[in-house]
Amino acid sequence: MSTMEPSHTHSPHIAVIPSAGMGHLTPFLRLASLLLSRNCSVTLLTAKSTVSNAESRHISFFLATHPRVKHLEFDLIPPLQSSNSSAQDPFSIQYNAISRSAHLLHPLLSSSSPPLSAIFSDLLVAKTVACISADLLIPYYLVITSSARFLSFMLYLPAFVSNPDKFSSNAVEVEIPGSSPLPISSIPLPFLNPNHLLAETILANLGVVPEAKGIMVNTFDWFEAETIAALNNGIVLSNLPSVLPIGPLQAYEFDKDQSQCLPWLDDQPEKSVVYVSFGSRTAMSNDQIRELGYGLDKSGCRFLWVVKTSKVDKEEKESLEELLGESFLERIKNRGMVVKEWVNQDKILAHPAIGGFISHCGWNSVTEAAERGIPILAWPLHGDQGVNAELLQKAGLGIWEKTWGMGNERLVKQEKIGKKIVELMDDAELRSRASKVGREARKATELGGSSDKAIMGIIENLT
């Protein structure tokens, strides 16, 4: 993005309110950094305790490198106890706690100095933020951390859950107005159970979406043109505010990476390495992790693999030797690097040695790969990831083997994995289509590009 300064004398002061997990925090910090570069003042509001170490480390580092940002923390009221075992996902519990604690934001926001010009918040606190913004007579904008396609589905969620007969066990897809039908198999499991904490939290906040001044989405026009048009033409929801694609949001400098990954990549030939990572909060079963390892070995490709065995980094205990065996690590050591730590993914994807990405299709990972034009082998595991996998395949950014299923529902064998990796790395047409996606993504964020114009329009409206 450009660092063009607004021509106005009054620079807006914006409160930025993410929810939980790196997948939600990262785009908000990137947006905050972008706003600063456009001469805005920023106040960042976060919950006093985070779920993962990665979040608290990133917040601290961000504040240290962006000293103009004011940071305010709010308390969390104790989480709801639920008998539903699927609700025990620590991130869903935190989303719910943040959503229910959002009223504690009022005194922090109303006493802000200089007074706030706007609030940019995650959907999961929208209900309270809408009331506060009405009280303070300032606009609020929603920031969607997933795809526009997934936003369409979320907006359709109230209709979906209130009409279960329409979605009988025989149904294979859901018709979302203005969008191609969504396979039932891509719908996140919590949404098939309206009593799930995550579904409950989203449903509780959806009602105020029409009160937002605008809905920013970390996507770009070219990538999701049909969906964005449908959202903006009132086909999905008649009273929807403008949907504004502002992505891919750019990474800010995060230079504390002490790992050996980048030096190792420096020694690998161009586009020869497949990067494997399943984001910040997704763990495969240990059996699946081992099959993936043998599959990587069978493919004969070079690889950089970030292994994650538990949802939250605080629980990671097992060593790589215990998990994969010393003989595996010895066998692959000349063409594979396996780590079990936080890596600087954005820098890795930007490295010329990377030729492909095996990804769970968390939306940040997808947008980061899109920006670099890196082809993805989609392996969605939960949440919005099936929806994202489908759309990235349609846009030409990757391939998705649907028969592998979502999550740990079936064990995908090493032979299949090995073959797919070879397909990912050898397909010249796929590589060229992915490069085109990269060119379009970069065009969107250049000065005068569609995403650049969208963010400048918002800032100008606030001055």
**By the criterion CB under 6 A, which residues form the site for ligand UPG?**
21-24, 26, 145-146, 277, 279-282, 306, 342-346, 362-365, 368, 383-385
Contact criterion met (CB below 8 Å) for 65 and 255: no
Comparing CA positions, the residue from 314, 361, 462, 328 lying closest to residue 14 is: 462
**182 exposure class (CB count in 10 Å sphere: 0-12, 13-18, 19+):** buried
**Which residue lies nearest ligand UPG, judged by its C-beta?**
23
CA–CA separation, 19 and 55 (whole Å): 11
Contact criterion met (CB below 8 Å) for 323 and 286: yes
Instruction: Please say which residue, 132 or 376, places its beta carbon nearer to ligand UPG.
Output: 376
**169 exposure class (CB count in 10 Å sphere: 0-12, 13-18, 19+):** exposed
Give me the catalytic one of 122, 297, 313, 452.
122
Instruction: Please say which residue, 24 or 302, places its beta carbon nearer to ligand UPG.
Output: 24
Cα-Cα end-to-end distance for the chain: 20
382's tokens: 């939960």
Comparing CA positions, the residue from 281, 279, 93 lying closest to residue 190 is: 93
User: Is residue 66 flagged as an active site residue?
Assistant: no
Quote the least distance from Cβ 433 to ligand UPG, whole Å. Answer: 21
- Strand order from edge to edge, sheet including 140-144: 70-74, 41-47, 13-17, 118-122, 140-144, 214-217, 243-245
Instruction: Please say which residue, 109 or 122, places its beta carbon nearer to ligand UPG.
Output: 122
Give me the catalytic one of 13, 24, 58, 360.
24
Distances from the Cα of 354 to the Cα of 222, 319, 327, angstroms: 24, 26, 26
Instruction: Please say which residue, 249 or 421, places its beta carbon nearer to ligand UPG.
Output: 249
The structure tokens 């918002």 sit at: 458
Quote the least distance from Cβ 163 to ligand UPG, whole Å. Answer: 26
Instruction: Please say which residue, 22 or 462, places its beta carbon nearer to ligand UPG.
Output: 22
User: Is residue 122 flagged as an active site residue?
Assistant: yes
Point out the residues that are catalytic.
24, 122
